[in-house]
Copies of this chain bind each other. A is one copy, B any other.
Amino acid sequence: MENFFSSNFKLGILGGGQLGKMMLYDTRKYDIQTCVLDPSPDAPCKIACDHFQQGNLMDYETVYDFGKKVDVLTFEIETVNTKALAKLEREGKKVYPSSKTLEIIQNKGRQKLFYEEKNIPTAKFRRFSNKAHLTEGITDNRVKLPFVWKSTQGGYDGKGVSVIKSGADVAKLPDVECIAEEMINFKNELAVIVVRSVSGEIKTYPVVEMEFHPEANQVEYVICPARISDAITLKAIKVAEKVSKAFEHVGVLAVEMFQTQSDEILVNEVAPRPHNSGHYSIEASYTNQFEQHIRAILDLPLGATQSKVGGIMVNLVGAEGHAGDVVYKNIEKIMKMPGVTPHIYGKKQTRPFRKMGHVTIVHENIDEARKIAEKVKNTIKVVSK
């Protein structure tokens, strides 16, 4: 085995945001040298990595030159230059996940086609190269209202996605390549983190459940384990494994799924990296998703994915009407609550709905955890000074 620990081996990470920051806790734990590339001089990863480089993740030369300097290259964000990754792979550099996987995932149209080819259950859809073609599709009834419109590129955190109910909604859409997806009236939105190593060892985490706010229709809690039947659990895990294998994925893959009213499991989207739906694992799991990603891409044995205790994650997003230097109001109150751990990502400025951190609530009894999570949600506020 190659010697990664307190050695000259270098792991390169494209992107220096909060996901990278949390990954660095584990590279530090193992004393694995890291190089991080990020456009921002104040990236959360700026400290705690061994070598920080400021640069554009979409620039071919920048990504290529960065990749040449490291032994294994990974990423914590999808919007990176895949051409540079492909070149590095051709030259024998280890890039995990692969440029091929990333190219498929970067384009939602291509991602949906991939599921079709691989017989992975997903919502019905049609692709359109621009707005005019979409409008035709609606006029000649190939697409029926209501439907879910998704821009094929650059969609993230709800951006580039909208529910289309009328011609007026259509009129508001930008003129970009897009897909029109059948609207799923789902019982539950579920997610499974799958991890697969270079040599193909594969493990799945328990199924998690996204609980939505009744009015706001926003994910409020990520709950592990999901409060679903064993049959649905098995079905969801089987689908998630199938997706990981179909991509021949190396590293952590987050598979987001719908449980339909008829208990079908449909793949919604995937993220080829540690994911918000796996943050609970830092406190609740035997091996957290970040350590697991490192184990997988270095072809080390995978760790146990079971939970020690029940876990719930609440996102900390900037409150409406607040912009400027951040203050975590009442954080000391939630720290009084048992099993509550705030994670502060290190962004100095808050903005409405900006992801500023998250809070994990762990408890041996998941229903107790759920009660505490609600108290947390109603107590802490991300405001400006």
Chain A contacts to B: CB under 8 angstroms: 1, 3, 5-6, 21, 24-25, 28-31, 47-50, 286-287, 291, 295, 300-301, 303-304, 308-309, 326-328, 331-332, 335-336, 338-348, 362, 364
Q: Of the candidates B5, B286, B335, B362, which one forms a contact with A295 in the assembled complex, judged by CB atoms under 8 Å apart?
A: B335
Contact A362 B308 (CB under 8 A): yes
Residue contact A286 to B362, C-beta cutoff 8 Å: yes
Most B Cβ at <10 Å: residue of A29, A339, A345? A29
Q: CB-nearest residue of chain B relative to A308?
A: B308
Give Cα distance in the complex from A326 to B3, angstroms: 10
**A47-B25 Cα distance, complex, nearest whole Å:** 12
CB pair A343–B300 under 8 Å, yes or no, is no
Tell me the dominant secondary structure on chain A's binding face.
loop
Are B29 and A344 interface neighbours, CB within 8 A?
Answer: yes
A137 to chain B, nearest CB (A): 47
Asked whether A300 and B6 contact (CB < 8 A) given A29-B343, A342-B30, A344-B31, the answer is no
Contact of A308 among B3, B30, B309 (CB under 8 A): B309
Q: Contacts A47-B47, A47-B48, A335-B300; is A344 near B30 (CB within 8 Å)?
A: yes
Q: Which of B28, B49, B304 is close to A21, meaning CB atoms less than 8 Å apart?
A: B28
Partner of A300 from B31, B291, B332 at Cβ < 8 Å: B332
A6 in contact with B304 (CB, 8 Å): no
Give the number of copies in the complex: 2
Given contacts A30-B344, A47-B49, 19 further A-B contacts (CB under 8 A): A1-B332, A3-B327, A5-B326, A5-B328, A5-B344, A6-B326, A6-B328, A6-B347, A28-B346, A29-B341, A31-B345, A47-B47, A287-B341, A291-B341, A301-B332, A301-B336, A303-B341, A304-B339, A308-B308
Can you give 28 contacting A-B residue pairs, CB < 8 Å?
A1-B332, A3-B327, A5-B326, A5-B344, A6-B326, A6-B328, A25-B29, A28-B346, A29-B341, A30-B342, A30-B344, A31-B344, A31-B345, A47-B48, A47-B49, A47-B50, A286-B338, A286-B339, A286-B362, A287-B341, A300-B332, A300-B335, A301-B332, A303-B335, A303-B340, A304-B338, A304-B339, A308-B309
Q: List B contacts of A335 (CB < 8 A).
A: 295, 300-301, 303
CA distance A173 to B328 in the complex (A): 57
The distance in angstroms between the C-alpha atoms of A346 and B214, with both chains bound, is: 49
B-side contacts of A48, CB under 8 Å: 24, 28, 47-48
Contacts of A29 in B (CB 8 A): 25, 341-344
For the complex, give the distance between the alpha carbons of A328 and B9 in Å: 14
* Given A31-B346, A342-B30, A344-B31, CB of A5 within 8 Å of CB of B331: yes
Taken together as a complex, chains A and B put the C-alpha atoms of A31 and B357 apart, in Å, by: 10
- Docked-complex contact A6 and B348, CB < 8 angstroms: yes
Distance between Cα atoms of A328 and B364 in the complex (Å): 35
Q: Considering the chains assembled together, what is the distance between the CA atoms of A222 and B136 in angstroms?
A: 71
- Name the B residues within 8 Å of A331 (CB-CB): 5
Q: How far is the CB of A169 from chain B (nearest CB, A)?
A: 38
